[in-house]
Amino acid sequence: MPLLEISGISKFFGGLAALSDISFQIADGETLSIIGPNGAGKSTLFNVMTGFQQRDQGRINFKGEDISQMPPHRIVRRGVARIFQITSLFPHETVHDNLLIGYRLRTRSGVIRSILRTGLCREEFRTAAQHAEDIAEFVGLSPQLNWPASALPQEAQKRLSIGIALVTDPVLLLLDEPVGGMSLEEGDRLVELIGRIRGKNITVCLIEHRMRVVMNISDRIVVLNHGKKIAEGLPEEIRSNKEVIEAYLGEEYAA
């Protein structure tokens, strides 16, 4: 059974089909990239997969459960985490506190227990604080643990957003253009982090425009164009696919 199964997903805005009958699977432990030109429907697909937008047709199964109509917080609790193309943080809070906020999705103590400072709440806070420190170390932000998020450079902010996703203990991590806007050196460091995430048995699905990253990191690739899937396969298959070359890669890439 696949970890995630997308079956016949369509999404309409007015009379325009942003997604049209999209189907593919993600296997447990693999890294799958979704590529295509601007406006192909990639981010809309991520929005539908994570409950930020509702599909009009089709079905999404995660670990055998239909999550097609679930809100985002319930999807996160089931093990699907996401970072957005535009980094979204709590800018005036510290790195540590940003990670703590993400961890609250996994705690059992509610508002009343927090106010009363019950034993459960205190124990969960100690656990959360340690988990936040561990994740900060994993993503390379231990030296900046007490910095406000707004003081971090772009690459570090992206690392923090990944850390916030990781602190929810995901099974599947969705990355929307993780190296967008970065230098080659910064991008390489982030790709190295993604490789270490894979080493933690976390399945990764990413949207990315840098083909050097896509071809080096992907087990399989899905290609969208005008809201439709035009190809799916191994990197070497996508690299030589004539329809993909014409729609997105360009003849100079094939050469």
pLDDT given at position 116: 44
Check residue 80 and report its DSSP letter: E
Amino acid at 150: S
Query: In this predicted model, what pLDDT tens digit does every residue of 23-75 receive, in sequence order?
Result: 999 999 999 999 999 999 999 999 999 999 999 999 999 999 999 999 998 99
Q: Where are the alpha helices (DSSP H) in the chain?
A: 42-49, 72-77, 95-103, 111-116, 119-138, 154-166, 184-198, 211-217, 235-239, 242-244, 251-254
pLDDT given at position 173: 97
Residues 74, 83: Cα–Cα separation, whole Å: 16
**CA dihedral angle for residue 42, residue 3, residue 178, residue 34, rounded to 10 degrees:** -30
Locate 185 and state its tokens: 């050196």
Residues 191, 121: Cα–Cα separation, whole Å: 36
pLDDT given at position 242: 92
Pairing outcome for strands 80-83 and 172-176: parallel
pLDDT given at position 17: 94
Residues of the chain with pLDDT under 70: 104-122, 251-255
Phi-psi region of 169 (alpha: psi -120 to 50; beta: other; left: phi over 0): left
Domains recognised in the chain with CATH numbers? 1-79+170-255 (3.40.50.300), 91-169 (no CATH)
Locate 148 and state its tokens: 């406000």
pLDDT given at position 106: 52
pLDDT given at position 115: 39
Three-state secondary-structure class, residue 145: coil
pLDDT given at position 196: 94
| In the block, residue with structure tokens 């007490």 | 146
Contact (Cβ atoms closer than 8 angstroms) between residue 3 and residue 27: yes
Terminal-residue alpha carbon distance, the chain: 38
Reported pTM: 0.88
Locate 47 and state its tokens: 């929005």
